[in-house]
């Protein structure tokens, strides 16, 4: 009974987080008066990527939340997002390694450990993305050569702008796009 309750609660959390992640992106400049919008700010945003596998697509939404949490240095939100990834990855063909690594991020005691495990999670996630493919839109594989003590590590982004989840604010723009998935 206890295992059933835990599974039910975890799946409920995934559904709740997925529903919350379907809102429009937040404007980081809201409430600030910066004068007229630049042409870049008024242009049509890129088409959001959609994956061919609906289960992996749901995991991707939680992955975006995890990446944002690590970029912002929010270990608590990273744990919640990783828990949702773990639950969702169990429904993805070939998602066992992804689920295992997400569970390790959930159990991690600090942000540095979460970021180290995130590199492993990305190896599994990028492989699944390439195997499954995208229904529409584009995703970008970014790479930071300084992550993991100069071993380098990658992550997936929906925009070309670099926002480094391995270093957060201390080196926010370290890295470059190395591949476009479409």
The alpha-carbon radius of gyration of the chain (Å, integer) is 17
Distance CA 70, CA 77 (A): 8
Q: Name the band, by pLDDT with cuts 50, 70 and 90, for residue 138.
A: very high
This prediction's pTM: 0.76
| Average pLDDT of the residues in 83-89 | 98
Q: Is the pLDDT of residue 14 over 60?
A: no
What's the pLDDT score for residue 50?
92
180's CB contacts (< 8 A; 6+ apart) are 138, 139, 140, 141
Instruction: State the chain's mean pLDDT as an integer.
Output: 82
Range of weakest confidence among 2-6, 92-96, 145-149: 2-6
What percent of the chain has a predicted confidence (pLDDT) above 90? 73
Q: Is the pLDDT of residue 162 over 70?
A: yes
């Amino acid at each position: 009974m206890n295992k059933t309750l835990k599974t039910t609660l975890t799946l409920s959390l995934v559904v709740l987080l997925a529903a919350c992640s379907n809102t429009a992106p937040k404007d980081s400049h809201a409430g600030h008066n910066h004068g007229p919008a630049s042409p870049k700010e008024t242009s049509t945003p890129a088409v959001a990527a959609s994956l061919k596998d609906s289960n992996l697509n749901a995991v991707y939404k939680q992955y975006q939340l995890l990446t944002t949490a690590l970029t912002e240095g929010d270990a608590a939100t990273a744990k919640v997002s990783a828990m949702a990834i773990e639950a969702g990855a169990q429904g993805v063909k070939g998602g066992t390694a992804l689920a295992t690594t997400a569970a390790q991020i959930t159990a991690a005691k600090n942000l540095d450990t979460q970021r180290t495990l995130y590199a492993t999670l990305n190896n599994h996630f990028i492989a699944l993305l390439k195997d499954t493919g995208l229904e529409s839109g584009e995703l970008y594989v970014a790479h930071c050569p300084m992550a993991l003590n100069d071993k380098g590590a990658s992550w997936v982004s929906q925009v070309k702008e670099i926002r480094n989840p391995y270093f957060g604010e201390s080196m926010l723009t370290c890295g470059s796009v190395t591949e476009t998935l479409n």
